[in-house]
Every structure is written in C-alpha cells, then in structure tokens.
Structure 1
Amino acid sequence: MDWMRDWVQAVRECEGGALGTVLCLALLFVWYCYRVGCEHASYTPESRSSPPELSSAKLRPTLGGVRTGGGASEEELNGFAYCQSPECFRCSRPGNGFNQRLYHNLQDYAKRYTWAGMGRVHKGVREQDRYRLCNRPSIQKAEVFFLPDLPSAPFFSRDAQKHDVELLERSFPALLAEFESVYRTPPPLAPGWKANSTPRGHWWTFYLVNQGTTLALNARRCPRTWRVLGQLRTFISNNVFGNACFSVISPGATITEHYGPTNVRLRCHLARLFTLDAASRGERRLRPTAGPERLH
C-alpha cells in the first residue's frame, strides 16, 4: 500500500506542475496576441494604398511654418526630405517590385547554397511593407530595406570596424590631397560634382561609387582614394546600398533630417571642418580645424 500512496502523491505533484506550466503558456499566449495586435493596429488594408506616414509627414506642408534652429521653417524643410532624381533608389521608392525581385534572389541564393542562418533576412524581405508603414517612432526606419533585430545606436564605436577606420585614418593625407585636387574649382562649375537640394546653403558631393555603380571618370581622378576603397574589408561595392564620396557643406547650410535606405550598413564619416583663412586676403584657401570620425 505504501507504493500506492507514493504513486498517488507523485501524480498529484505532476498535476500541480502541469497546471502551472499550462497557466504560464496561457499567459505567454495572451501577451503575444497583445503585442501582435499593437504592431498591426496601424497596418490596415486602407493604409496599403496610401504613402507611409513618415513620407507624408515630410512632404506635406505644415501650417504656421515653425522655425528651426537652422533658420529654415518646418514647411521649407519638409520639401527637401527627398530628392527629385528618378535615378535615386531611396527617393524613387521602388516598392513591391523591388521586394519581389529581392525575394526571388533570396530563393535563388538558398537553392544554390542553404537557408541556414537566413531566417532573419527572409523575415525582413517578407514583411517590408509592414515595417515601412509602421508609424511608431524609431531610430531605425529604413526607406528601402529594413532588417529586423539589429542593434540601434546614434553612433557606433570605432572598434565596430577597427581595421577599416584605422586604414582611413592612416590614408587621410592622401585622401585630403586628392580632395583638394578636385575641389580647386568651385563645385557648381567643376566636373564630377553634384549639387544636392537643401533649404539653406549648399551641399555638394563628388561620388566615386554611387548606389553600387563606379563613376569611372571620378575614380581615375582619385587613384589613391580608389586604392584605399579597394583595401577596405567591409566596403559595399556590389549593390545599390554602396556609396563613397567627398562631401562639402557650405557654412549655414541645412540638411533636412531623413532616414537612409537601409539599416544593414554603417556609414563612416572621416570629417574635417574647414574655415576660410583670414590671412589669404580674399583668396580661396581652406584651413582644417578639426577632424572627428563618426560611424552611424
């Protein structure tokens, strides 16, 4: 009879443990349903045919024209969130056609190699519309492709890309010399320079690689810079998210706040702040005054 009592007691203990497990699973299921409901609350069938809230907020004129610290009104800034170039992959908004091509390419890759480790990429491709239409505030809000579950930070440590950052710093004298060689003529008149739309001031860029495409004429004018790019371990050069350029912003210029095309890359700024040399007596000379690097 002792073994019978022990068996009954064991069954009762198992029942108690099983009941606790069931209750925990039920609570987890309720929490999961709540989270999914919150995420999909703003993603309705009507919103599929309308532009994302982020885009409309930037493009729609605002009443009152609130002034910002840079001297430009919010209404003025809103009109410069996107450029008008049909060649710009971010601003032309490729939409579902791009997602379909990306999904087919992902399938081809998996057939040739493996699906192992591709779950997050597959999820990102499958749910791009939901990420773009979500109007919740977020540090990461890519305009073209969003990969979920990546860490967010305003700036990343130099150790995140230690080799490439140190290579750029060692190569700075050569990069600066070639920049000065192509910047002698004012950018609006110099070949190879591109003017970007800004509400205040001027912003010029001299691309060596633009959206994954090499600009051969510009690259030939900067052979040492091009050689440095080839030595970078993590430089993106074979898809639309790859860019490398010299960038010049005039004093007082305002660049509208915006999100980039993707969150799968880090942009490295090897920056130098220049001021006009008062001793030049009006001659166009530049003098470097500071130089922090930034990864974001």
Structure 2
Amino acid sequence: MWRGSSAGGSQGAAMEGTGGELGGQGNWGLEDAPGLLARASLPIMPAWPLPLASSALTLLLGALTSLFLWYCYRLGSQDMQALGTGSRAGAVGGRPGGCSEAGRPSPGRSGESGEGPRTEGLMSRRLRAYARRYSWAGMGRVRRAAQGGPSPGGGPGVLGIQRPGLLFLPDLPSAPFVPREAQRHDVELLESSFPAILRDFGAVSWDFSGMTPPPRGWSPPLAPGCYQLLLYQAGRCQPSNCRRCPGAYRALRGLRSFMSANTFGNAGFSVLLPGARLEGRCGPTNARVRCHLGLKIPPGCELVVGGEPQCWAEGHCLLVDDSFLYTVAHNGSPEDGPRVVFIVDLWHPNVAGAERQALDFVFAPDP
C-alpha cells in the first residue's frame, strides 16, 4: 500500500510500527488480510499435558499391583490357617485310627513302621512345603485329606468297612475290587510276564518249613505261615532282591502306575502256607490299588474284601482296594502246597497326576 511522505503519513507509519502484532492501530490494507487472519487464529483448547497423563497411569498401575498383592496374601493366609487347624486337630486326636489290627503288618506290605508320616501335622507341613515350591493347583482333595484324615472310630468309608490307617482321599470312587480295565496296560504287562516272574520265584523259593531261618532276602514271618520277599519296600528298591529276580524287576520297570517313589508302594512275592489265615486287615490308604498276580493257587484259598469273596487264578491279575477290611485264608491241606502271589501297589486310577506328584512329595521314602 502506498503511503505519502507528508507529516500525516509519517505519523501513520509511526503508529503502524508501534501498534504490535495484532493489537496495533495502524492502517492496514486489503492485501494484508490473509496474514492477519493467520496470525489471529488461536487454538480452541490447549494440548493435554503429557507428564500429567503418565503420572496418573503410573498411580493406577501401582494401585492395581497393591490390590493383587493384598489378595495373594489373604489367600495364602487362609490356606495356612486351614491347614494349621487340621494339624492341631490331628495333634489333639492322636494317631489316626485304622482297622482292628492296624498295628500288625498285612501280607505283602512292609509293615506299619515304613508306610508314611505318622501324624496329620507332619503331612500338613510337607504339603505346605510342596505348595511353596510348586502350586496349590489341583490340591483340593489332598488338602482336605491333610485337614481331616481318617476318623479314629468307624472310619470314613463305606459303612465303616473302609478304614485306611493313614490317608483317606475324599471323593474317590471306591469298591473292594477294581475292574481290570482301570489299569489295562499294567495288568496286561504283568500277565504277559507271568512265566518270567514264576521262574524268578522258583529261583528264590525254599521249603517254608519254619524249621530253619528264612534264607537271604526273605522277611521274617509276618504271622504264622505268612512269608514275603520284597523287591520294593516302602518305596525303596531292594537291589539284592531285584538282581535275583530279573524278570520281575523288568516287569516292574515297565509299569505306568507303580508307586515306586512313595512309602505306600511295595512289590514282591507273598506266600501263605496251608492253614494260615489273616483276618481283619486293612491298608494304609485308599489312594492305591493292590494288584495280585496269581503264581501258585492251590484249592481252598480265599480272599474276602469288604465282605465280597474272590479267588485268585494262576497267570491272572486281581485288583484289590485294600483300604477295605479284608481276610486272606488258605484252607487247603498240607499236600496242596503254599499259595503264592506277586503283589504290586499301583495308583488308584482316579488319583490325578497333580495329586500323585504331591503325595509322592509328602510320602517320599526316607533317605
């Protein structure tokens, strides 16, 4: 825009120069309108302060983390309190009750001295140690077993005839005799190994007259006329006996459900002489199934479990839940010879893998 050189023009120029960017009172032309409009455009809303947003997000994450840690603490405290209550109950109630002859070992068992922890308090402590190392996941039944355990009176099982002496796992399907299909692989493997196991027994057998001490590897008689030779005793391998019975040991190594790392697990030969009788016995837990492979079964032999009679057959397996009261008898004549079975302790088919791992930890064999 042309401006004159007169005094008025100079005064207008001076006013234009001192007017400022937007508030000046100088003379503007039409060609200056776009620039003025661009300079006059102000933001409607200021940008969000990014440092303030980051601080708010950090505070929110910190609060959520604190709530999660508090929840974990409360959950762990409740678990410890519940298990502590079970431990105190076990200490007050004393040793869990079993069957009428729980103090006497049963055939094919290692005896009460090596079956596992004696008190519920010890089981609870070992279970807490397992949970600290691994997890409580899948431990519902095991935790309830640690809190309650078998009652000292009539037992927790069916009509008082199921009386495990140390561990009762609740909500476990129970029957005196278990179908073969429940452990098909192990049953078929043992039955196919029948000739080799029978040869092993012939190699370690003796006259069982009782006139001389039992030979090496054989345990002292558990009761009159009852002998056993164990390849696994309370979850521990017996190396000398395993070397003398290679066929039986090879079969044990091929089993999928053998309780080989648990104090409830035993395997070996059980011999019952004519006239011998074991009555009113029961096993330490309902978490196992005892497999009997008949080797020599003379007439007059009988097995009654939970009031149901059965009999062995040579070369065939019989699955027994020995947490039920049972009676074993050999009513044959002396000429018939002894009854011989190969006994293996297997996991109950309805005990889950996580529960087996926890029970192996709790009832681990002593070093």
Normalization by structure 1: what TM-score? 0.62
Work out the CA distance in 1 between the residues paired with 2:116 and 2:135.
30
Task: Report what 2:136 is aligned to.
Answer: 115
Match of 1:48 among 59, 70, 93: 93
Residue 260 of structure 2 is aligned to residue 237 of structure 1: yes
Change (3 A) 1:290 1:88: closer
Deviation at 1:206, TM superposition (A): 0.3
1:186-265 mapped onto 2 (5 Å cutoff)? 186=208, 188-198=213-223, 201-265=224-288
Change (3 A) 1:158 1:169: same
Counterpart of 1:193, as a letter, is W
Match of 2:151 among 115, 123, 132: 132
Task: Report what 1:272 is aligned to.
Answer: 295
Task: Report what 2:191 is aligned to.
Answer: 169
Change (3 A) 1:257 1:170: same
List, as ranges, runs of 4+ consecutive aligned residues in structure 1 with deviation greater than 6 Å: none
Deviation at 1:144, TM superposition (A): 1.2
Stretch moving more, 164-173 or 189-198: 189-198
Work out the CA distance in 2 between the residues paired with 1:209 and 1:92.
12
Match of 2:172 among 150, 165, 168: 150
CA contact (8 A) 1:147 1:263 kept: yes
Please state which structure has a larger fraction of its residues in helix.
1
Counterpart of 1:125, as a letter, is A
How many matched pairs?
210
Counterpart of 1:205, as a letter, is Q
Specify the SS of the correspondent of 1:100.
helix
Deviation at 1:149, TM superposition (A): 1.1
Change (3 A) 1:289 1:82: closer
Deviation at 1:110, TM superposition (A): 1.9
Specify the SS of the correspondent of 2:191.
helix
Deviation at 1:274, TM superposition (A): 4.2
Identity, % of aligned positions: 39
Change (3 A) 1:196 1:150: farther
CA contact (8 A) 2:165 2:282 kept: yes
Normalization by structure 2: what TM-score? 0.51
Work out the CA distance in 2 between the residues paired with 1:210 and 1:50.
23
Change (3 A) 1:141 1:165: same
Residue 312 of structure 2 is aligned to residue 293 of structure 1: no
Counterpart of 1:132, as a letter, is S
Change (3 A) 1:231 1:186: same
Work out the CA distance in 1 between the residues paired with 2:165 and 2:180.
26
Work out the CA distance in 2 between the residues paired with 1:289 and 1:118.
38
CA contact (8 A) 1:89 1:240 kept: no
CA contact (8 A) 1:209 1:245 kept: yes
Counterpart of 2:93, as a letter, is R
Deviation at 1:101, TM superposition (A): 2.8
Change (3 A) 1:290 1:229: closer
Work out the CA distance in 2 between the residues paired with 1:175 and 1:83.
24
Stretch moving more, 212-221 or 159-168: 212-221
Residue 127 of structure 2 is aligned to residue 106 of structure 1: yes
RMSD of Structure 2 on Structure 1 (CA): 3.1
**The structure with more radius of gyration:** 2
CA contact (8 A) 1:81 1:258 kept: no
CA contact (8 A) 1:164 1:234 kept: yes
CA contact (8 A) 2:154 2:163 kept: no
- Gap runs ≥5 in structure 1: 1-43, 60-79, 277-287
